[in-house]
Amino acid sequence: MAEQRGIKRARREKDEETSLRKFEDALHLCTAKFGYNTLRNEQRIAVLSFFKGNDVFVCLPTGYGKSFCYYCLPLLFDFLNDKSSWSVVIVVSPLVALMTDQVGFLKSKGFTAVICNSCAEAEQSSIANGDFQFVFTNPETLFDKNWTDVFTSSTLQDRLVALVIDEAHCVKKWGTEFRKEFGRLGDLRGFFPPSVHFMALTATASNSVQKHITRLLGMSRPQMVIRSPDKPNIYYSVSEKCGTLEEIFKPLIEELRVSRINTKRTIVFCRTLKDCSDLYLFFRYTMGKEFNEPIGVADFPIFRLVDMFSACNTPGLKQSILSSFSNPSGILRIVIATIAFGMGIDCPNVQRVIHWGPPSDLESYIQETGRAGRDGSKAYAELLFSKRDTGVSFMEPSMKSYCQNVDVCRREVLFRDFEIASPSKKPLGCLCCDICAMVCSCSDCQFNDCTV
């Protein structure tokens, strides 16, 4: 009896070893497909856990490669399961601009991908037939009765291997009042086969937010792949709005006039569409003929040094802004934006993020400042606020405390609510934040050029 158990255990161990070797081969194939030399350990853990049949919650900093965790799934499942028809992944995403960016990237890598809410009837039929490896949609479309036949088609459900919730913090942030279908995504458990597991991804979620999201999504004992969102290359500073727009933004205007296309790539986040429009018009009229590059050229988006990104932009203009801003040789240097520019947009060369007014919570602030320094280079995050900004009822106390804090390291305030502590090797005072810089005595303190 003992000998039989030993034989079974040896066979099981051999099978597991063979399975793991095949998984590593498949993962290497996926890595090469996307042009990576190596994977981070967190990416590998997320993919392996999902393949083993677990729900997976991924919370990794911006620029860390979260998207690869689901980009690789169709290829991985096809390789390991020897399927005659390709696998399908449904990706739930909050913004059309984000979906468009991802679909374009996946198509450039040879995958088939589609956005549900913008496709024609013929493409709906193709989705139902499982003809696309990636199907991007929003929660509203998933619960739309007009799409029920598409998502419940037997062919699509047979090929479906994953339901991915990208920017999963929206489940908590928007799922109660603004976009209620985000709070209903857990109901999809009864919509798709039990074999289809969930993968949720976000760049910022405190311990309490993680529990809230996994509960709403009905994740049972998920694999948690978590890393602190603290990015040591970002310098944080906070200033109160004092003076006119001309006085506050004078340094940035001067930088544009002198440095032109060598101005630091900058995102200016505004809390309202009106603020966004007002600030854009201020830059436009203040710069005059210098607003475009070369000076005096006709005012077309491709020549602008500054542009505005919001829900009011046409799809074509949004794509033009994204292309110019993410292109190293693009002219666009400053994007004045609403939250629409804060999620998932891949612009690795952003050197500065300015907040013209604080968001309602720290998670949003960390998410948005994480747009800076994705390539690992030195970057700046400056928050400008007024007493009126912090007096609104919907702002969380922790965000108010961050604005009003004058004596505690910005990083300590930002990341104290996260289960994983910030890196043990915190940047030197003058490289950390404006508060630490005030008490720093190192020889590099003169570098402080982070203010607007």
Alpha carbon distance 393, 256 (integer Å): 36
Q: Which two tokens stand for residue 123?
A: 């493409």
**The CATH fold of domain 2-226:** Rossmann fold (3.40.50)
- DSSP letter at 426 equals P
Query: Around Cβ 308, how many Cβ atoms within 10 Å?
Result: 25
**Spatial CA neighbour of 29 closest among 67, 65, 79:** 79
Q: Burial of 162 by CB count in 10 Å (0-12 exposed, 13-18 middle, 19+ buried)?
A: buried
CATH of 234-447, one of 3.60.15.10, 3.40.50.300, 3.30.413.10, 3.40.50.720: 3.40.50.300
Q: What is the pLDDT of residue 425?
A: 61
Alpha carbon distance 246, 70 (integer Å): 46
Whole-model pTM: value is 0.85
DSSP line for 29-54: HHHHHTT-S---HHHHHHHHHHHTT-
Q: E-assigned strands of 111-186?
A: 113-115, 134-137, 160-165
Domain boundaries, the chain: 2-226, 234-447
Considering only the C-alpha atoms of the chain, give the largest distance between any 2 of them, rounded to a whole number of Å.
89
Alpha carbon distance 383, 240 (integer Å): 8
- Angle between the N-to-C axes of helices 96-108 and 315-326, in degrees from 0 to 180, rounded to the nearest 10: 60
> Is-contact 336 270, C-beta < 8 A?
yes
> Would you give per-residue pLDDT tens digits along the chain (452 residues)?
666 665 556 566 555 676 788 999 999 999 999 999 899 999 999 999 999 999 999 999 888 899 999 999 999 999 888 767 899 999 999 888 789 889 999 999 999 999 997 677 778 999 999 999 999 999 999 999 889 899 999 999 999 999 999 999 888 877 566 688 888 999 999 999 999 999 999 998 988 889 999 999 999 899 999 998 999 999 999 999 999 999 999 999 999 999 999 999 999 999 999 999 999 999 999 999 999 999 999 999 999 999 999 878 888 888 889 889 989 899 999 999 988 776 656 788 999 999 999 999 999 999 899 999 988 999 999 999 999 998 888 899 999 999 999 999 999 999 988 755 444 467 777 899 999 999 887 766 654 555 56
- Comparing 2-226 with 234-447, is the CATH topology the same? yes
Q: What is the pLDDT of residue 430?
A: 86
Q: What is the pLDDT of residue 4?
A: 60
Q: Which two tokens stand for residue 447?
A: 């570098």
Tokens 């998984």: give the residue.
23
Alpha carbon distance 97, 311 (integer Å): 10
